[in-house]
């Protein structure tokens, strides 16, 4: 278990290493990676029952990054947690690397589901939670989706399955940064009100500040205490959080920083540690 201060420092490290990989590849998705760093770190260090030395441990908790394009943050978190050496992050998106542009469970240890095509990871996580119930596997299934991703119809098909099957072993997080490639989510195709939509689909919802680690830890603990319902944590986040010129800018969804921008971003992030 890490202290809040340790988790905050780790989240900064994850941001730095995620950007390092994207910069080395000159390709990838910085905005959405920075917006989920403060969710992934508490999850992987304090919440989930996992063993980096035994990534396929039978009754482990599982994690699905349904917004697979944000994998630089996931890879950096897995590296900090000891699944593979942080140097490997520099192979991101390069030929022969286990760190594919979108996560591949067959190539990278610690990845519980291959994702990239939006919506499918969420639905697969529902399937995992159903199987865990049938198999009497005590593990929890965690899944992070983007808010723009909620425009995919499969999300709502799966949301109905989850409540129908009373999946209280399923905890979803919506990374509510309100930006997608073509602009503001609610202008592109309105998904708000996210909490009321999930409630109407039979879920329990928890709202939290997605960059406030104590709030995030509390939200996960509260989610685990709810029985008989799947739970969604709607985490208010900022795309590009931690780097002033990337923050809340849709243009940084899928663009790698050049050398100068990368140095400027590092200076901001490292200044905090």
Partner 1 sequence: MADVKKKIATRDAYGQFLVEYGEERESLIAMSADLSGSNKTDGFEKAFPDRFIQAGISEQDMFAEAAGIAHMGNVVAASTFAMFAAGRAYEIIRNSIAYTKANVKVCATHGGITVGEDGASHQTFEDLALMRVIPNMTVINPADAVSTKILLRELFETKGPAYVRLGRSGVPVIYDEDADIRIGKANIVREGSDAVVIATGLMVSEAMDAAEILSKEGINIRILDMHTIKPIDKEAVIQSAKDCKAVVTAEEHSIIGGLGGAVAETLACNYPCKMAMVGQKDTFGESGKPAELLKKYGMTADDIVEAVKSLI
Q: Which residues bind partner 1 (CB under 8 A)?
A: 58, 64, 104-106, 112-114, 116-117, 119-120, 123-132, 134-135, 137, 153-154, 157-158, 160-161, 164-165
We find the least distance from the C-beta atom of residue 73 to partner 1, in angstroms, to be: 21
Nearer to partner 1, 99 or 130 (CB): 130
CA dist., res. 229 & res. 132, Å (int): 15
- Choose between 154 and 234: whose C-beta lies nearer to partner 1: 154
Of 152, 93, 82, nearest to 117 (Cα)? 152
Nearer to partner 1, 70 or 129 (CB): 129
Of the two residues 153 and 271, which places its CB atom closer to partner 1 in the complex? Answer: 153
> Do the Cβ atoms of 252 and 18 come closer than 8 Å?
no
Asked if residue 238 lies in contact with residue 177, where contact means CB atoms within 8 angstroms, the answer is yes
Alpha helices in the chain (DSSP H): 4-25, 30-42, 71-81, 120-135, 153-164, 185-188, 194-200, 213-225, 259-270
Our CB check for partner 1 shows the closer of 58 and 227 to be: 58
State how far the Cα of 143 lies from the Cα of 141, in Å rounded to an integer: 7
Give the span between the Cα atoms of 125 and 171, in whole angstroms: 9
- Sheet with 141-146, strands from edge to edge, namely 62-65, 141-146, 170-176, 231-236, 204-209
């Amino acid at each position: 278990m890490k202290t809040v201060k340790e988790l905050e420092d780790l989240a900064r490290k994850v941001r730095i290493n995620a950007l390092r990989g994207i910069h080395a590849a000159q390709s990838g998705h910085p905005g959405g990676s920075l917006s989920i760093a403060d969710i992934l770190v508490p999850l992987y260090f304090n919440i989930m029952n996992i063993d980096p030395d035994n990534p396929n441990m039978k009754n482990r908790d599982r994690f699905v990054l349904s917004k697979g394009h944000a994998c630089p943050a996931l890879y950096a978190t897995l590296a900090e947690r000891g699944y593979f050496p942080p140097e490997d992050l520099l192979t991101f998106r390069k030929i022969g690397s286990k760190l594919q542009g979108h996560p591949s469970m067959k190539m990278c240890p610690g990845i519980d589901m291959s994702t990239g095509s939006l919506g499918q990871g969420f639905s697969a996580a529902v399937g995992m939670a159903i199987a865990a119930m049938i198999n009497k596997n005590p593990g929890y299934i965690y899944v992070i989706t983007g808010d723009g991703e909620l425009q995919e119809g499969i999300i709502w098909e799966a949301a109905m399955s989850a409540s129908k099957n009373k999946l209280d072993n399923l905890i979803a997080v919506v990374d509510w940064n309100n930006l997608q490639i073509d602009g503001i989510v609610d202008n592109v195709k309105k998904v708000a009100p996210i909490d009321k939509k999930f409630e109407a689909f039979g879920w329990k919802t928890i709202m939290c500040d997605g960059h406030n680690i104590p709030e995030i830890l509390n939200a996960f603990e509260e989610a685990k205490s709810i029985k008989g319902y799947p739970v969604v944590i709607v985490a208010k986040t900022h795309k590009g959080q931690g780097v002033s010129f990337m923050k809340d800018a849709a243009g940084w969804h899928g663009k790698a920083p050049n050398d100068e921008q990368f140095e400027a971003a590092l200076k901001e992030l490292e200044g905090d540690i």
